[in-house]
Amino acid sequence: MRFGRGSGSTRALGRAAEDAAATWLERLGYVVVARNHATRRGEVDLVCRDGATLCFVEVRSRSRLDFGSPAASVNVGKARRVVAAATDWAVRHGGGLEQDIRFDVVAIDLSSGAPRFELFRGAFDAEGRPK
């Protein structure tokens, strides 16, 4: 999996980051249930299970940190779009919002060669507010 300069478009870099995040989360014991669930209201990069908890995961990567860390790029507006898409997914695929749900962020720092992964469990609440 290639990251950084020469890896192609922003979309290709995003896809590579999501692939790497999915593999990394699986090593941590997550089970990836779905990828790239998009609705009119937003998108969820990864839908996973962490034990009995349904996790909606936003993946962010940055090859330069001039404008802050990858995790810092998840603002309230982005979080609310993730929550909206997650709500649609949960209702459509059973269980609704009565099950244990968590919103996680995987931040991938590509600024110094080898990717550095960081997981923020419960990064924001169901209103899109940071925890």
CA angle 123, 70, 2 (to 5 degrees): 125
To the nearest whole number, what is the mean pLDDT of the chain?
Answer: 87
pLDDT class of 1 with cuts at 50, 70, 90: very low
CATH topology of domain 10-123: Trna Endonuclease; Chain: A, domain 1 (3.40.1350)
Q: Can you say whether residue 57 is alpha, beta or left, with left for phi > 0 and alpha for psi between -120 and 50 degrees? A: beta
Q: Point out the least confidently predicted range of 23-32, 70-79, 92-101.
A: 92-101
pTM: 0.88
pLDDT at 111: 81
CB atoms within 10 A of CB 87: 19
Kindly list the distances between the CA atom of residue 79 and the CA atoms of 54, 57, 74, 122, in Å, as whole numbers in the listed order. Answer: 16, 10, 6, 11
* Domain locations along the chain: 10-123
**pLDDT, tens digit, for every residue of 98-131?**
779 999 999 998 888 788 999 999 999 999 999 8
